[in-house]
Amino acid sequence: MVEKEREVQTQRRLAIIGEMSAQIAHEIRNPLQKILTGVEFLRDYCEPGNETVIDVVSKGVSSINQVISKMVEYGRTTSLNLQEIDINNMVEGIISGIRSRLNSANIKLTKDFPDKGRVELDPVRFRHALQNIMDNAIDAMPNGGNLKVSMRFLCEEKNLPSKTLCTVINPSSRLEIKISDTGTGMDKEAIEKLFTPFYTTKVSGSGLGMAMVKKIVDLHKGEVSINSKRGSGTEVTISIPMKMVT
């Protein structure tokens, strides 16, 4: 009952944040559009080759727009659309999408996927969470390094191999995904702020990536933990209770 009440309260709080951010976005986007139109109008009066100021303002407006979109998305994420999916396919898909960035940043990839199977989760949101973690890992290794992605099914009953148990519907099964990098790492203070919305150390960061990860994992009733050391790298572990499907 206490658990249920807490859940209802969380849902209510998230709904309020969602409404507020949608309203704020609406109020900000209109004047922003006016700035953009005005600045583009001035472009015609600029001498050729002298458009730097216009470009700076227009880029600034577009990055404000991006932050607003992320904020609205953060606010809107209040519930899940659960579907049965092949988790290996999903993770492989995300990896294909970042392959060229890994190559150009000189990052070596290691995969460790001993288990295969279908699981029930929100594919759009979960994919988004994994993508955010991998984007951060790439950003943390500007001079190359190693990215490791591991995924396994864990079963709480001991002495039985996970594959045997996880092929039947088992309420105590968990999906565990670890993403680790050998990048800049974080100190204790940075780790404490990591999930706070708008915390960023990047020039053009939104600071909403890890806040979103936390929210998505919470909605799946899972846990996210961080193991990081300044100068050595970071390991992000997501663990989600799972209904494994045969």
Ligand X SMILES: Nc1ncnc2c1ncn2[C@@H]1O[C@H](COP(=O)(O)OP(=O)(O)O)[C@@H](O)[C@H]1O
Q: Note the residues at the interface with ligand X (CB under 6 A).
A: 132, 136-137, 140, 181, 183-186, 194, 199-202, 205-211, 234
- The answer to whether 153 and 177 are in contact (CB under 8 A) is no
- From the list 27-35, 70-78, 116-124, 136-144, the region that binds Mg ion by CB under 5 A is 136-144
Whether the CB-CB separation of 191 and 235 falls below 8 Å is answered with no
Residue among 162 and 228 whose Cβ is closer to ligand X: 228
Nearer to Mg ion, 11 or 201 (CB): 201
In this complex, which beta carbon is closest to ligand X, that of residue 170 or of residue 234? 234
DSSP reduced 3-state for 46: coil
Q: Which of 21, 77, 136, 180 binds Mg ion (CB under 5 A)?
A: 136
DSSP secondary structure letters along 150-163: EEEEEESSTTS-HH
Candidates 77-85, 88-96, 131-139, 238-246; binding stretch for Mg ion (CB under 5 A): 131-139
Query: Do the bridges between strand 107-112 and strand 145-155 make them parallel or antiparallel, or are there none, so unpaired?
Result: parallel
What is the closest distance, in whole angstroms, from the C-beta atom of residue 244 to Mg ion in the complex? 30
Provide φ and ψ at 30, rounded to 5°. -60, -55
123 binds Mg ion (CB under 5 A): no
Task: Compute the distance between CA of residue 80 and CA of residue 7 in angstroms, rounded to an integer.
Answer: 14
Residue 149 CB, nearest distance to ligand X (Å)?
13
The residue behind tokens 């009066």 is 45
Binding to Mg ion in span 36-65, by CB under 5 A: none
Cα angle 199, 202, 207; round to 5: 30
Residue of 209, 212, 220, 228 that binds Mg ion (CB under 5 A): 209
Q: Which residue lies nearer to ligand X by CB, 25 or 186? A: 186
Rounded to 5 degrees, what are φ and ψ at 154? -115, 140
> Using CA atoms, how far apart are residues 88 and 110, in angstroms rounded to an integer?
14
Of the pair 68, 211, the CB lying nearest ligand X is at 211
Distinct helix (H) and strand (E) counts, the chain: 7, 8
240 contacts which partner out of ligand X, Mg ion, none, CB within 5 to 8 A by kind? none
Q: What is the DSSP letter of 47?
A: P
225 forms bridges with which residues in the sheet? 237
Contacted by 181, from ligand X, Mg ion, none: CB < 5 to 8 Å by type: ligand X
Can you read off the two tokens belonging to residue 32?
């922003």
Residue 113 touches which member of Mg ion, ligand X, none, C-beta under 5-8 Å by kind = none
Which of 72/119 has CB closer to ligand X? Answer: 72
- For the bound state, the minimum distance from the C-beta of residue 183 to Mg ion, rounded and expressed in Å, comes to 12
99 binds, among Mg ion, ligand X, none (CB under 5 to 8 A by kind): none
